[in-house]
Amino acid sequence: MPDPPPPPTPAPARARPALLAGGLALVVAGVAVLAWVLASAAGLVGGSDDPAMDDTPRTLELLGATPATPGGAGAPTVAYRLEPAGGRPVTVRLEVAADPASRARGLMGRRKLPQGTGMVFLYPADVTEAYWMKDTLVPLSIAFVAADGRVVSVAEMAPCAADPCPSWAPAGPYRYAVELAGGAFGAAGVGKGAKVVPVDPAALPEPA
């Protein structure tokens, strides 16, 4: 029978501390990774430059969305078409004032009114009310329009900061009035006898 193999030589004493140090390093690394994950979930660390990892909310521009008129606090608008006699039609977007309170407020306090925007004042029946510009800060052009869309008359109105303020009366009864930036109706060739009509009448509220 062969002689038994000699007993294994014991490992050097320094091997055991090396193993302990390596294990401790792994534990520390694991704790660091766990801390980073928790901090990311809590939003305490910066996001990635990768758009797929970016959770920042974004505003989407939707096709067909109704724009808000500046100064109108996000008020919805409707489209109206200016149809000069023998001229090219122009489409504008108008805020709607369809009740006594909104008609009385009108465009007061607006510091600017971009071209192609304005307000339409709807009435439940024909009226002959005159308009004035008390506390209105920008010049306006107004068209008084009959129920069939024909322009009764047009006027240019200057701002007025304090009483007494002048008023502008229509040339006859009208069903609605449209205000645009000063000079807009003249620039579009719209005067008495032209038409100013809603693109989609069904989109208009019932006036009160």
Distance between CA 37 and CA 117 in Å, rounded? 51
Distance between CA 200 and CA 45 in Å, rounded? 51
186: Cα separation from own chain's centroid: 29
pLDDT at site 69: 39
Is residue 149 within 8 A of residue 171, CB to CB? The reply is no
Tell whether the model's pLDDT for residue 47 goes beyond 70: no
Instruction: Find where tokens 């100064």 sit.
Output: 71
Which percentage of the chain shows pLDDT scores above 70? 64
pLDDT at site 74: 56
pLDDT at site 203: 95
Q: Specify the pairing of strand 174-181 against strand 140-145.
A: antiparallel
Instruction: Find where tokens 């009310």 sit.
Output: 129
pLDDT at site 76: 82
pTM: 0.66
Closest of 141, 135, 131, 133 to residue 182, by C-alpha: 141
Q: How many CB atoms lie within 10 A of CB 120?
A: 24
pLDDT tier, 186 (very low <50, low <70, confident <90, very high otherwise): very high
Residue-wise pLDDT for 121-173, tens only, equals: 999 999 999 999 999 999 999 999 999 999 999 999 999 988 899 999 999 99
Distance between CA 198 and CA 120 in Å, rounded? 10
Structure tokens at 32: 């660091």
Q: What is the dihedral of CA 130, 132, 138, 144, to 10 degrees?
A: 0
Distance between CA 141 and CA 180 in Å, rounded? 5
Q: Which residues pair with 121 in a beta bridge?
A: 97, 177
Distance between CA 84 and CA 87 in Å, rounded? 5
With residue 102 as reference, give the H or E element that holds it.
helix 100-105
Is residue 153 within 8 A of residue 110, CB to CB? The reply is no
